[in-house]
Amino acid sequence: MKNKTYSREKILTAASMLFQVKGYNAAGLNEILKESGSPKGSLYYYFPGGKEELALESIKLANEAIQNKLQTTLNEHSNPIEAIQSVIKNIIEDLKRDGKLKDISLSLIALETYLSIEPLRKACELAFLDIQNTYTKKLIEGGFSKETAQELGIFIQVIVEGAITASVTEKNPIALLTVSKQIGILLNSYIN
């Protein structure tokens, strides 16, 4: 039984990475199997719904990894501004290390599937809401009112996602650096 769970996890881990890095359409099932080192029949054994079911589970796995990284970094700082800027710094470092979006963003799969595969769109929506809520909670802990924190949580999630897209497209972290600086200015204006 443990071996079966391990095989399923290998497929899921490989799929999650490939969907984040290459997108839903570009990540083929044969590539996922090759990356995972699993035999062909195992994919439909563990994921009878095929690629869509695998992608849905992969989004959930990626969301958990993103949430863990986000929460760990936010918990390292009591000041919400420093915490959020540290999150952005870590994203920059992760992108410098390997240039891939693994456990950083679900934007690629969200953009590819939002019009065509409703369950995947919904899973990405929930992942984005989780990120927004994590920022909101940190801001509330830092003394922001609930209403302001909710608006800023949405803003921060959206602006960071956009900066990630610009940074990987331009192969330059300037968008993320700019967002980090401007978030500091914006959040400080609510405190002062």
pLDDT digits (tens, 9 = 90+) for 124-136: 999 999 999 999 9
DSSP-H helix ranges across the chain: 2-22, 29-36, 40-46, 50-75, 80-98, 107-113, 118-141, 146-170, 174-191
Instruction: Give the pair of three-digit tokens for residue 116.
Output: 């065509």
The DSSP secondary-structure symbol of 68 reads H
- Domain boundaries of the chain, sorted by first residue: 56-191
Share of the chain above pLDDT 70, in %: 97
State the angle between helix axes of 50-75 and 29-36 in degrees (0 to 180), rounded to the nearest 10.
60
**Could you give the CA distance from residue 154 to residue 82 in angstroms, rounded to a whole number?**
18
pTM: 0.90
CATH architecture for residues 56-191: Orthogonal Bundle (1.10)
Model confidence at 33: pLDDT above 70 = yes
Q: Residues 94-129: pLDDT tens digits?
A: 988 887 777 888 888 888 888 899 999 999 999 999
